[in-house]
Amino acid sequence: MSHVLRVAIVDPHDTGREELKRLLLGLDSIWLEAECSRYEFFADVVAQTNPEIGIVALDFDQEKALDLVSKVTQQSPDCAIFVVSSSHDGTVILKAMRAGAKEFLPQPVRIDDLLAAIERLTERRFGRGDQKARGSTVIAMTGVTGGVGVSTIAVNLGCALARNDKNSVVLVDLDLCLGDADVLLDAIPDYTIVDVAQNVTRLDFSLLKRSLTKHSSGLFLLPRPIQLEDVALVSAEDIQRVVGLLKASFTHLVMDLSKAFTPLDMMAMEMAQHIVLVTQLDLPCLRNVVRLLMSFNNIQGMAEKVKIVVNRTGLESGQINIKKAEEIIGREIFWQIPNDYRACSESRNNGVPLLESAPRSPVTHAIVGLAEALCGESAKTAEKKSAKGGLFKLFAK
């Protein structure tokens, strides 16, 4: 998990204070240190508890609240003050900033606005040095055509990441029409992404976690809708907010996209640090790689995030070789995953991840290596580790 921030809040309105508490108590990155119902006592509360964040509601008495912001800022400069107000008056915002507030949040407070403010504070405070906060690694998985094995790689990549006790990993199935992540994990979810989308305006972490299905590997799953007609209930804005919540709660987020490059897929790719583009070594697939890269080049910052992964290498003697493929697409191949039809077929049909069903298979080792390469180690380092037997030791028991 990321660095935990201690928070103290003050709001004389009981309803507003309880609503704010509900949001904060659902955040794994937040510890609610203290709450206060009187402006007069809050400066002493902050001085005694030394929280990283103090949240001051302005609406009960704006003048007193702004004086309090100024007082706390002077007396406890290490406490960042967030103010909340239902007023959208630019003068009020300016007064709050001049009093020393670091963030202004409209009331009722939206969870994504609060998370964004916390993230900005975290980056300012822990963005440098040894205390740098651990952020969330977001990986978008997509293919150049159907049937290239994206879902198999996504599910097993998530399971590989979840093996590390330091990681908390969630897989989101964004192939809303034909996704099969639940089948590959032999899971029968109680809730789907539609349930989350329909409650997104009042979503907190407690509700979100109850909506996820946890696999025995430690991987959490948010599956696609059950009914095809429910696909229209999920919007790109919903995905943006859900991903924002998941980023704040999990160290790793893997998204299995559709192959249609819908607005939902594009939103997911914009929010990802890595876009894993899966292909095979045949001309139609490589042609699509070129076409997609040309389109990505027109979207600021997107092409740089793309990692090309070749699946099923060694499938047959008629495949185009890696060197020729790199000449065709004009980029280096980031990773290769060998063909092992039997292991992958048994894994899919039994709903058992490769780490459990075929731990010694070359395809399993390759996916573990891909997980390491994407999440901190360079591809070159991971390849050396594999060559020295480092990855094989994981399965020696």
pLDDT of residue 317: 63
- Is the pLDDT at 63 greater than 70, yes or no? yes
Task: Note the pLDDT tens digit of each residue in 20-60.
Answer: 988 887 676 788 889 999 999 999 999 998 899 999 999 99
- Residue 366 inside a domain? The answer is yes
- What's the average model confidence in pLDDT over 58-74? 96
Q: Using DSSP bridges, classify how beta strands 220-222 and 213-214 pair: parallel, antiparallel or unpaired.
A: antiparallel
Check whether residue 147 and residue 12 sit in a common domain: no
Check whether residue 385 and residue 295 sit in a common domain: yes
Final residue in a domain of this structure, among 126, 153, 177: 126
Check whether residue 192 and residue 282 sit in a common domain: yes
Task: Note the pLDDT tens digit of each residue in 262-281.
Answer: 999 999 999 999 999 999 99
- What's the average model confidence in pLDDT over 179-206? 86
Cβ atoms < 10 Å from Cβ of 342 = 10
pLDDT of residue 25: 75
Check whether residue 314 and residue 367 sit in a common domain: yes
pLDDT of residue 357: 96
Q: For residue 210, what pLDDT band results from cuts at 50, 70 and 90?
A: confident
Final residue in a domain of this structure, among 126, 154, 186: 126
Check whether residue 232 and residue 354 sit in a common domain: yes
Check whether residue 96 and residue 168 sit in a common domain: no
Check whether residue 356 and residue 237 sit in a common domain: yes
Q: Which residue has the higher pLDDT, 363 or 166?
A: 363
Check whether residue 222 and residue 347 sit in a common domain: yes
CATH of the domain at 308: 3.40.50.300
pLDDT of residue 390: 37
Instruction: Give how many domains the chain has, as a whole number.
Output: 2
Q: Cα–Cα distances in Å, from 16 out to 81, 109, 381?
A: 17, 9, 51
- Residue 88: what are its φ and ψ, rounded to 5°? -110, 15
Q: For residue 228, what pLDDT band results from cuts at 50, 70 and 90?
A: very high
CATH of the domain at 47: 3.40.50.2300
Check whether residue 314 and residue 349 sit in a common domain: yes
- Residue 56 inside a domain? The answer is yes
Stated pTM of the model: 0.72
Q: Which residue has the higher pLDDT, 107 or 383?
A: 107
- Residue 20 inside a domain? The answer is yes
Check whether residue 38 and residue 78 sit in a common domain: yes
- Residue 132 inside a domain? The answer is no
- Residue 249 inside a domain? The answer is yes
Q: For residue 112, what pLDDT band results from cuts at 50, 70 and 90?
A: confident
pLDDT of residue 224: 96
- Residue 207 inside a domain? The answer is yes
CA distance 99 to 245: 30
Q: What is the mean pLDDT of the chain?
A: 88
Check whether residue 121 and residue 161 sit in a common domain: no
Final residue in a domain of this structure, among 100, 126, 152: 126
- Is the pLDDT at 285 greater than 80, yes or no? yes
- Residue 188 inside a domain? The answer is yes
Check whether residue 281 and residue 142 sit in a common domain: yes
pLDDT of residue 220: 96
- Residue 131 inside a domain? The answer is no
Q: Which domain holds residue 344?
A: 137-395
CA distance 349 to 351: 6
The neighbouring-strand residues paired with 307 are 276
- Judge if the upstream peptide bond of residue 223 is cis by omega within 30 degrees of 0: no
Helix 236-249 to helix 111-126 angle (10° resolution) is 40
Q: Range with the lowest mean pLDDT among 20-29, 191-200, 377-386?
A: 377-386
- Is the pLDDT at 177 greater than 50, yes or no? yes
Task: Note the pLDDT tens digit of each residue in 312-358.
Answer: 998 766 789 999 999 999 999 999 999 999 999 999 999 999 999 99
